[in-house]
């Protein structure tokens, strides 16, 4: 085989393997396993323990969308409310071919813990539609969004369930969502979704909030390990969507050496550091990193195991497995994605002394600024960008320290500490509210 052919075969083999891993690791099983691992450190009643495992409501909808050529296609979507004890449920909406009910259940459960950990007055939810948004025209995407939003009307409101962007959705999708809800009730309701464009009630600083929060957590962990110079820290980031690209840009702006980035088709690596802004512009212009001159081309598996100090998985679930965890060279992992690490991989990483800053802490910056957006909308009183960044930073550092204290108290890893801090807050609220009737 020629070099090029071999490369193609390897890329295909890698994609098949990744798909197999994705199939093997059911995200809801992962979420439940993490829950079991954490809950044993807590003294809560068996009834409450059991209650918290279940999603409160699960909504499935099959709906038609008219394509531009006049044909009609059916789509399936979900919205799951995991828990609503601390307040309205909160969580994003995902447009992806990998969406299924168990994935949405897992993501909703993680939202419950994420909101509880960072002290927000919210429960957890998630929604998704099985669709590759790249295959839709802008008009078809708008139709799909509006029809899905309209199907969710019985479930959502600013006081019951507040959606936001996630994988495959963006501020424009949120604008259509907000408009559909507003047209239905007859007046404008900005607080129905967060992550909207700023000119219709979105918050300054929301778009980059998740990525910034990831880097704030990375800094807290690095500071803990002793004094360091930012340019000596080599950061590799898997995923160049909203989370990955903003984490890369923010890390780069703070002087960290971003050595690797990737998107779904693979990435680029340069041990001396990449020009992150140039990589962003290249990806936007060409749709992939082919022909990028500032780094060598690598595949996604190579990115995960590349030579770096900090690895930021910011793509999707199930990326760090028992197969690649033994080969990871980073000494710190900061989870930008939800659920990127399997419990088996967690065990290997813990064993190897590699610290993992878990998703519900590391990527909470998004929902923190979503909360700020919702508060601003409800009060019709808007903050400037500096204020948003300052409050985000304060919330992230506080949550990091709280998690670390819990880790020390119980002598557990950061994931277990974050989960048990969150579970305790929700369990205490359930206990004091009691079970109805
Ligand atoms: N989709 C984001 C997450 O997974 C944000 C959710 C929100 O802002 O409600 O945390």
Residue-wise pLDDT for 105-114, tens only, equals 999 999 999 9
Query: Would the CB of 370 count as within 6 Å of ligand 1?
Result: yes
- Decide if 66 is catalytic: no
Token pair, residue 118, equals 């960072």
pLDDT digits (tens, 9 = 90+) for 350-372: 999 999 999 999 999 999 999 99
Rounded to the nearest whole angstrom, what is the distance from the C-alpha of residue 367 to the centroid of ligand 1? 5
Give the Cα-Cα-Cα angle 122, 420, 111 (nearest 5 degrees). Answer: 30
Rounded to the nearest whole angstrom, what is the distance from the C-alpha of residue 362 to the centroid of ligand 1? 12
Spot the catalytic one: 126, 223, 284, 398: 126
Query: Would the CB of 164 count as within 6 Å of ligand 1?
Result: yes
Q: What is the mean pLDDT of the chain?
A: 95
Phi, psi values for residue 121, rounded to 5° = -85, 55
pLDDT digits (tens, 9 = 90+) for 255-265: 999 999 999 99
pLDDT for residue 245: 98
pLDDT digits (tens, 9 = 90+) for 14-67: 454 444 444 458 999 999 999 999 999 999 999 999 999 999 999 999 999 999
The H or E element that residue 89 is part of is strand 89-96
Q: How far is CA 389 from the centre of its chain?
A: 19
Rounded to the nearest whole angstrom, what is the distance from the C-alpha of residue 374 to the centroid of ligand 1? 13
pLDDT for residue 22: 47
pLDDT digits (tens, 9 = 90+) for 208-233: 999 999 999 999 999 999 999 999 99
Rounded to the nearest whole angstrom, what is the distance from the C-alpha of residue 437 to the centroid of ligand 1? 32
Local confidence band at 317 (pLDDT 50, 70, 90 cut-offs)? very high
pLDDT digits (tens, 9 = 90+) for 126-150: 999 999 999 999 999 999 999 999 9
pLDDT for residue 20: 46
pLDDT for residue 52: 98
Across 397-419, average pLDDT: 98
Please enumerate in sequence order all residues whose Cβ is within 8 A of that of 24, keeping only pairs 6 or more positions apart, or say none: 318
pLDDT for residue 16: 47
pLDDT for residue 17: 46
pLDDT for residue 25: 85
Query: Would the CB of 90 count as within 6 Å of ligand 1?
Result: yes
Give all domains of the chain, ordered by start, each with its CATH number.
3-23+55-187 (3.40.50.10860), 209-357 (3.40.50.720)
Helix, strand, coil percentages for the chain (3-state, nearest 5): 50, 15, 30
Residue whose CB lies within 8 A of the most ligand 1 atoms, among 242, 338, 367, for a mutation test: 367
Local confidence band at 2 (pLDDT 50, 70, 90 cut-offs)? low
């Amino acid at each position: 085989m020629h070099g090029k052919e071999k490369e193609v075969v390897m890329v295909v083999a890698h994609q098949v393997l990744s798909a197999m891993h994705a199939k093997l690791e059911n995200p809801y099983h992962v979420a439940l396993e993490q829950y079991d691992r954490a809950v044993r450190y807590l003294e809560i009643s068996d009834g409450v323990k059991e209650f918290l495992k279940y999603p409160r409501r699960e909504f499935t909808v099959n709906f038609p969308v008219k394509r531009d050529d006049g044909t009609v296609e059916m789509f399936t979507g979900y919205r799951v409310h995991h828990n609503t004890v601390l307040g309205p449920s909160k969580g994003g909406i995902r447009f992806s071919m990998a969406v299924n009910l168990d994935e949405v259940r897992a993501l909703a459960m993680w939202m419950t813990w994420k909101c509880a950990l960072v002290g927000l007055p919210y429960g957890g939810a998630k929604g998704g539609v099985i669709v590759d948004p790249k295959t839709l025209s802008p008009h078809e995407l708008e139709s799909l969004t509006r029809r899905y939003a309209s199907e969710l009307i019985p479930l959502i409101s600013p006081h019951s369930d507040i959606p936001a962007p996630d994988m495959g959705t963006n501020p424009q999708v949120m604008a259509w969502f907000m408009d559909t809800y507003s047209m239905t009730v007859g007046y404008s309701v900005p607080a129905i979704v967060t992550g909207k464009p700023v000119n219709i009630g979105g918050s300054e600083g929301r778009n980059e909030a998740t990525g910034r929060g990831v880097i704030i957590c990375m800094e807290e962990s690095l500071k803990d390990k002793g004094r360091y110079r930012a340019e000596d820290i080599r950061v590799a980031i898997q995923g160049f969507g909203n989370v990955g690209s903003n984490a890369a840009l923010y890390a780069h702006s703070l002087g960290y050496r971003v050595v690797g980035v990737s998107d779904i088709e693979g990435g680029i690596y340069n041990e001396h550091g990449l020009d992150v802004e140039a990589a962003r512009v290249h990806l936007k212009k060409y749709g992939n990193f082919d022909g990028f001159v500032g780094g060598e081309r690598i595949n996604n598996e190579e990115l995960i195991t590349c030579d770096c100090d900090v690895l930021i998985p910011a793509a999707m679930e199930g990326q760090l497995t028992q197969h690649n965890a033994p080969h990871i060279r980073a000494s710190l992992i900061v989870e930008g994605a939800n659920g990127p690490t399997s419990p088996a991989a967690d065990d290997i990483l813990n064993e190897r002394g590699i610290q993992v800053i878990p998703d519900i802490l590391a990527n909470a910056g998004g929902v923190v600024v979503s909360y700020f957006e919702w508060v601003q909308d409800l009060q019709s009183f808007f903050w400037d960008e500096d204020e948003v960044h300052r409050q985000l930073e304060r919330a992230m550092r506080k949550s990091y320290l709280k998690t670390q204290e819990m880790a020390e108290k119980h002598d557990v890893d950061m994931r277990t500490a974050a989960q048990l801090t969150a579970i305790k807050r929700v369990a205490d609220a359930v206990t004091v509210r009691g079970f109805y009737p």
